[in-house]
């Protein structure tokens, strides 16, 4: 769907903001770009829809260079959601959502039905919110509108640049849950930028961790968490832990034979837990030589994705 071939970006012909990046994003994939400030993740995102020109290399969409698309055609097939919601304050919610469909000459009935469908999709009653202005909505509600506005003309690809980072933790968590549920139903190709490892683990099918314009590691949440490729990745993953991992707090009942499972002591260290779960989806836990339960890979990923709480994630 999207392929980067030795993509490089420099703003001053000296410093490389993005340094010869190669990656592919599959159709229908939720792909997360993450890293510290200045690592090149937002620049990488913006080169997809040509908001920022490449210095070198090639980006392909469906086997065609992005440089070969007429700019309006490229951007019409790519939805874009920013941290700054940027709804037009003088326009109603319906008018805001309808901008691109109107530019594409959809008829009024089709636009009306699409707005209804999208508002219902994100839990906003169309009869209640259709004619409201942005200032009449909360920050979380405005961001929901920003998301569905990007979906209004049914684009193939959606780019999301730290869309939830300005929200309070409760609103942010709710919108993350909404986006997980929404993606399950619409199956868009989403490229999502964040600096928050918990958000990345919760949302991403695959995660690309960047540093100094280069890819440090690219893989699934399981791969990133359980087999960090570099000390930087290991430290970055650990930044998502908000309190010490206590194995006893995550024990699950014995549900099947534990003979073939790696064995952990109840007092096992964090690195021992990760090592065991890099070999198996589940590990047996023993206390004084007796089995007392198990711990699963899913539980550990959930713990990291949700800070100290360890809740539902979007991955099996």
Model confidence pLDDT, tens digit, residues 86-118: 899 999 999 999 999 998 999 999 999 999 999
- Cβ neighbours of residue 236 under 8 Å, at least 6 residues apart? 34, 35, 36, 197, 209
Q: What is the pLDDT of residue 243?
A: 62
Query: What are the pLDDT digits (tens) for 139-188?
Result: 999 999 999 999 999 999 999 999 998 888 888 888 999 999 999 999 99
Report percent pLDDT > 70 for the chain.
95
Closest CA to 148 of 139, 138, 156, 158: 158
Q: Does pTM surpass 0.95?
A: no
The secondary structure of residue 297, as a DSSP letter, is H
Count of CB atoms within 10 A of residue 253's CB?
7
Q: What is the pLDDT of residue 171?
A: 86
Structural domain spans, the chain: 2-238, 247-305
Q: What is the pLDDT of residue 55?
A: 97
pLDDT at 20 over 80: yes
Query: What are the pLDDT digits (tens) for 199-247?
Result: 999 999 999 999 999 999 999 999 999 999 999 999 998 877 656 678 8
Contact 308, 250 (CB under 8 A): no
Please tell me the CATH code under which domain 247-305 is placed: 3.10.580.10
Cα first-last separation, the chain: 24
* 57-77 mean pLDDT: 94
- Coil, strand or helix at 250: helix
pLDDT at 35 over 90: yes
* 243-267 mean pLDDT: 82
Contact 122, 182 (CB under 8 A): yes
pLDDT at 316 over 70: no
CA distance 307 to 68: 44
Q: What is the pLDDT of residue 167?
A: 87
Q: What is the pLDDT of residue 311?
A: 35
pLDDT at 312 over 70: no
* Mean pLDDT of the chain, nearest integer: 90
Strands 206-211 and 30-34, bridge-based pairing: parallel
Instruction: Compute and round to an integer the Cα radius of gyration of the chain.
Output: 22
User: Which pair of structure tokens corresponds to residue 45?
Assistant: 């995102």
Confidence of residue 302 (pLDDT cuts 50, 70, 90): confident
pLDDT at 310 over 60: no
- Coil, strand or helix at 310: coil
Confidence of residue 315 (pLDDT cuts 50, 70, 90): very low
User: Which pair of structure tokens corresponds to residue 166?
Assistant: 């300005």
- Coil, strand or helix at 58: strand
Closest CA to 253 of 289, 292, 280: 292
Q: What is the architecture of the domain spanning 2-238?
A: 3-Layer(aba) Sandwich (3.40)
Q: What is the pLDDT of residue 241?
A: 65
* 273-292 mean pLDDT: 89
pLDDT at 57 over 80: yes
Cα–Cα–Cα angle for 211, 147, 48, rounded to 5 degrees: 45
pLDDT at 284 over 60: yes
Q: What is the pLDDT of residue 313?
A: 34
Question: CB burial class (10 A; 0-12, 13-18, 19+) of residue 130?
Answer: middle
* 13-38 mean pLDDT: 96
**CA dist 205 to 50, 223, 316, Å?**
24, 11, 10
Closest CA to 303 of 248, 232, 243, 262: 243
């Amino acid at each position: 769907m999207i392929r980067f071939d030795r993509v490089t970006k420099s703003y001053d012909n000296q410093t490389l903001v993005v340094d010869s990046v190669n990656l592919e994003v599959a159709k229908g994939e939720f792909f997360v770009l993450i890293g510290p400030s200045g690592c090149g993740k937002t620049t990488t995102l913006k080169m997809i829809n040509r908001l920022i020109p490449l210095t070198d290399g090639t980006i392909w969409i469906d086997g065609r260079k992005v440089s070969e698309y007429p700019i309006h055609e490229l951007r019409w097939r790519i939805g874009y959601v920013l941290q700054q919601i940027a709804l037009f304050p003088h326009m109603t919610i319906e008018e805001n959502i309808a901008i691109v469909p109107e530019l594409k000459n959809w008829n009024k009935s089709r636009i009306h039905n699409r707005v209804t469908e999208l508002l219902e999709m994100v839990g906003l009653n169309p009869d209640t919110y259709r004619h409201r202005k942005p200032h009449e909505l909360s920050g979380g509600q405005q961001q929901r509108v920003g998301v569905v506005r990007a979906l209004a003309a049914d684009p193939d690809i959606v780019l999301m640049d730290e869309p939830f980072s300005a929200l309070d933790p409760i609103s942010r968590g709710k919108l993350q849950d909404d986006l997980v549920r929404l993606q399950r139903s619409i199956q868009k190709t989403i490229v999502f930028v964040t600096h928050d490892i918990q958000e990345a683990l919760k949302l991403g099918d695959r995660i690309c961790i960047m540093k100094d314009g280069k890819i440090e590691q690219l893989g699934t949440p399981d791969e990133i968490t359980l087999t960090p490729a570099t000390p930087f990745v290991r430290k970055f993953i650990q930044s998502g832990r908000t309190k010490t991992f206590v194995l006893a707090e995550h024990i699950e009942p014995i549900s099947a034979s534990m003979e073939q499972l790696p064995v952990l002591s109840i007092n096992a260290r964090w690195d021992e837990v990760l090592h065991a779960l890099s070999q198996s989806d589940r590990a047996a836990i023993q206390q004084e030589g007796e089995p007392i339960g198990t711990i699963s890979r899913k539980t550990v990923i959930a713990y990291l994705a949700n800070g100290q709480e360890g809740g539902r994630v979007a991955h099996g």
